[in-house]
Amino acid sequence: MPETTQSTHSNGAGNGADHRGMGERVGQINQSAQELWSEAQGAVQHFKESLDVTGRVERHPYGMMLAAVGVGYLLGGGLFSRLTGGLLRIGLRVAALPIVKEELMLMAKSALANAREQGNGPRTTPAEPPRTV
């Protein structure tokens, strides 16, 4: 099969013009990629500064270690384990104690107020102090 050196483009431009246009496009893509890379680096740097992980570790080493253990536990699949279910149940009970206590206190106060209104409860007026002669 014989090779042809004629351009197959309809605009009549030679192969040199096609390569130059391709080179310009590659240069533009390269420049865009460099700009994107520098913007990404800036965003990562800003994110690091806003989190201040190093400073937090220095100020609260044990807390950060516990946070890392917790994140590792969750990422390791511990979210749907029996241990997590038990811990959540205990946590909900402990968190509900103040709410239940408050409700019980309100119920007791209401019951005392009803008993006083009906006359079955303790007197609301204090007894008179003894008179001195």
> Tens of pLDDT along 78-111?
888 888 889 899 999 899 999 889 999 999 999 9
- Tell me the three-class secondary structure of 70-113, residue by residue: HHHHHHCCHHHCHHHHHHHHHHHHHHHHHHHHHHHHHHHHHHHH
Structure token pair of residue 80: 């749907």
Q: Which residues of the chain have pLDDT under 50?
A: 4-8, 10, 12-13
For the question of whether the overall pTM of this predicted structure is more than 0.75, the answer is: no
